[in-house]
Structure 1
Amino acid sequence: MATAGLVEARSTATTSSYIDIDSLISDDFSPYAHANSLVLATNNSSDPAIDLSTPLSRVLFDLQEIDSHIHTLTSRSALDILTYTSTQNAAAQRILSKVEEERARLNASYERLEKEVLVRHQKAVEAQTIAQRSWEVLRLGRAVQRVLNLARQFEVLISESGLGGTRVGKEDHGVLVRASISILSFRNIMSGEGEQLGRINLVRTLRGRVFEDGEARISDFARRVVREFSMNTLSPALGGASTTSAPTYREVEDSRARFTSAAHILYLLSPAPRIDGQKISRKDFEPEYLIRALQGYLQTAITSSSASIGRALGQLPTLDRALLETSARCQNVVALEALLRSIMAPEHPMVASEVPANIDTLTTDDDTSDEDDTSPTTKQPTENFLAILLNALDTASLPSYFWRSLASSLSTRVQEILNRGGISARTLRSQRDMVRAEIRECVLRGSRLPRTVTLGDARASAASKGEETVENWEREAAVMVGSVVGLLGR
Structure 2
Amino acid sequence: MAEGDPSYIDYEAFLDPDFSPSSFANTLVTSTNNATDTPLDLSTPLSRVLFDLQEIDTHIHALTTKSALPLLSHTQNQTAAADHILKESGTQVAAVTQGYERLQKEVVQKWEAADEARVAAENSLATVRLARAVSRCLTLGKQLESQVAEITGRSATGAATSVGVDGASPSAGRDGFRALERAAYTILSLREMFSAAAEDEEGYGLDRVKVIRTLRGEFVIPTENMIKSRAQQTINRFSLSSNSANSSNGQSSTSSGYKQARDARARLATAATTLYLLSPEPKSSTTAVDYKPELLLSTLQGYMHTAIMTSVNSLARALSQLPSMDRTLADISTRCQDIVALEASLKTLRPPPHPLLASTPTAETQAAASTNSNLLQPLLHALDTSSLPSYYWRSLASSLTSRVQEIVNRGGVSARTLRSNRDRLRIEIKECVLRASRVSATSLLAEKGRSGTDTVIVGNWEREAAVMVSSVVGPLGR
Q: Residues 357 and 32 (structure 1 numbering): CA distance in 2 closer, same or farther, change over 3 Å?
A: farther
Confirm whether residue 184 of structure 1 aligns to residue 176 of structure 2.
Answer: no
Q: Structure 1: how far apart are the matches of 2:177 and 2:35?
A: 123
Q: Structure 1: how far apart are the matches of 2:123 and 2:233?
A: 48
Aligned twin of 1:76: 66
Contact residue 193 and residue 204 of structure 2 kept, 8 A = no
Q: What do the CA deviations read for 1:422-477 (whole angstroms, capped 9, x no partner)?
A: 55445444543333222211211222321112269xx9999951422221311222
Q: Structure 1: how far apart are the matches of 2:300 and 2:110?
A: 67
Q: What do the CA deviations read for 1:242-296 (whole angstroms, capped 9, x no partner)?
A: xxx7753332332222222212221221222453xx5x32112222221111111
Aligned twin of 1:481: 469
Greater shift, 227-236 or 36-45, is seen at: 36-45
Contact residue 353 and residue 380 of structure 1 kept, 8 A = no
One-letter amino acid of the counterpart of residue 5, structure 2: T
Q: Residues 64 and 316 (structure 1 numbering): CA distance in 2 closer, same or farther, change over 3 Å?
A: farther
SS in structure 1 at match of 2:132: helix
Aligned twin of 2:140: 150
Q: CA offset at residue 403 of structure 1? A: 1.4
Count of residue pairs the alignment pairs up: 453
Q: CA offset at residue 387 of structure 1? A: 2.4
Aligned twin of 1:376: none
Confirm whether residue 295 of structure 1 aligns to residue 301 of structure 2.
Answer: yes
Q: What do the CA deviations read for 1:228-250 (whole angstroms, capped 9, x no partner)?
A: 1112243218999xxxx775333
One-letter amino acid of the counterpart of residue 335, structure 2: R
* 1:241-390 superposed matches below 5 A: 247-273=256-282, 275=284, 280-355=286-361, 383-390=373-380
Greater shift, 161-170 or 214-223, is seen at: 161-170
Q: CA offset at residue 333 of structure 1? A: 0.5
Q: CA offset at residue 121 of structure 1? A: 1.5
Q: Residues 39 and 269 (structure 1 numbering): CA distance in 2 closer, same or farther, change over 3 Å?
A: farther
2:12 pairs, out of 22, 26, 30, with 22
One-letter amino acid of the counterpart of residue 130, structure 1: A
Q: Structure 1: how far apart are the matches of 2:454 and 2:391?
A: 25
Q: CA offset at residue 181 of structure 1? A: 2.0
Q: Residues 470 and 46 (structure 1 numbering): CA distance in 2 closer, same or farther, change over 3 Å?
A: farther
Q: Structure 2: how far apart are the matches of 1:54 and 1:223?
A: 124
Q: CA offset at residue 419 of structure 1? A: 4.1
Q: Residues 87 and 235 (structure 1 numbering): CA distance in 2 closer, same or farther, change over 3 Å?
A: same
SS in structure 1 at match of 2:355: coil
* 1:78-97 superposed matches below 5 A: 78-97=68-87
SS in structure 2 at match of 1:350: coil
Aligned twin of 2:123: 133
Contact residue 223 and residue 262 of structure 1 kept, 8 A = yes
Contact residue 339 and residue 455 of structure 1 kept, 8 A = no
Q: Structure 1: how far apart are the matches of 2:19 and 2:226?
A: 101
Aligned twin of 1:363: none
Confirm whether residue 224 of structure 1 aligns to residue 214 of structure 2.
Answer: no
Q: What do the CA deviations read for 1:378-434 (whole angstroms, capped 9, x no partner)?
A: x99993222232233232111111112222222332343444445544544454333
Confirm whether residue 12 of structure 1 aligns to residue 16 of structure 2.
Answer: no
Q: Structure 2: how far apart are the matches of 1:447 and 1:177?
A: 32
Aligned twin of 1:199: 208
Q: CA offset at residue 177 of structure 1? A: 2.4
Greater shift, 288-297 or 91-100, is seen at: 91-100
Greater shift, 63-72 or 262-271, is seen at: 63-72
SS in structure 1 at match of 2:18: coil
SS in structure 2 at match of 1:402: helix
Q: Residues 101 and 203 (structure 1 numbering): CA distance in 2 closer, same or farther, change over 3 Å?
A: same
Contact residue 151 and residue 177 of structure 2 kept, 8 A = yes
Q: What do the CA deviations read for 1:174-208 (whole angstroms, capped 9, x no partner)?
A: 12322222211211222235551011110010011
Q: CA offset at residue 144 of structure 1? A: 0.7
Residue identity over aligned pairs, in percent, reads 48
RMSD: 3.9
Aligned twin of 1:367: none
Aligned twin of 1:114: 104
Q: What do the CA deviations read for 1:102-121 (whole angstroms, capped 9, x no partner)?
A: 33332222222222222221
Q: Residues 239 and 473 (structure 1 numbering): CA distance in 2 closer, same or farther, change over 3 Å?
A: farther
Contact residue 372 and residue 378 of structure 2 kept, 8 A = no
TM-score (norm 2): 0.81
Q: Structure 2: how far apart are the matches of 1:433 and 1:383?
A: 45
Q: Structure 1: how far apart are the matches of 2:51 and 2:283?
A: 95
Contact residue 327 and residue 446 of structure 1 kept, 8 A = yes
Which runs of 5 or more residues in structure 1 are unaligned?
359-378
Aligned twin of 1:392: 382
Aligned twin of 1:170: 173
Q: CA offset at residue 48 of structure 1? A: 11
Aligned twin of 2:163: none
One-letter amino acid of the counterpart of residue 478, structure 1: A
SS in structure 2 at match of 1:471: coil
Which runs of 5 or more residues in structure 2 are unaligned?
155-159, 161-166, 197-201
Q: CA offset at residue 220 of structure 1? A: 0.9
Contact residue 342 and residue 455 of structure 1 kept, 8 A = no
Greater shift, 43-52 or 442-451, is seen at: 43-52
Q: Structure 2: how far apart are the matches of 1:473 and 1:423?
A: 33
Contact residue 183 and residue 211 of structure 1 kept, 8 A = yes
Aligned twin of 2:459: 471
Q: CA offset at residue 30 of structure 1? A: 4.7
Contact residue 233 and residue 252 of structure 1 kept, 8 A = no
Q: Residues 448 and 55 (structure 1 numbering): CA distance in 2 closer, same or farther, change over 3 Å?
A: farther
Q: Residues 289 and 54 (structure 1 numbering): CA distance in 2 closer, same or farther, change over 3 Å?
A: farther
Aligned twin of 2:157: none
Greater shift, 327-336 or 26-35, is seen at: 26-35
SS in structure 2 at match of 1:454: coil
SS in structure 1 at match of 2:208: coil
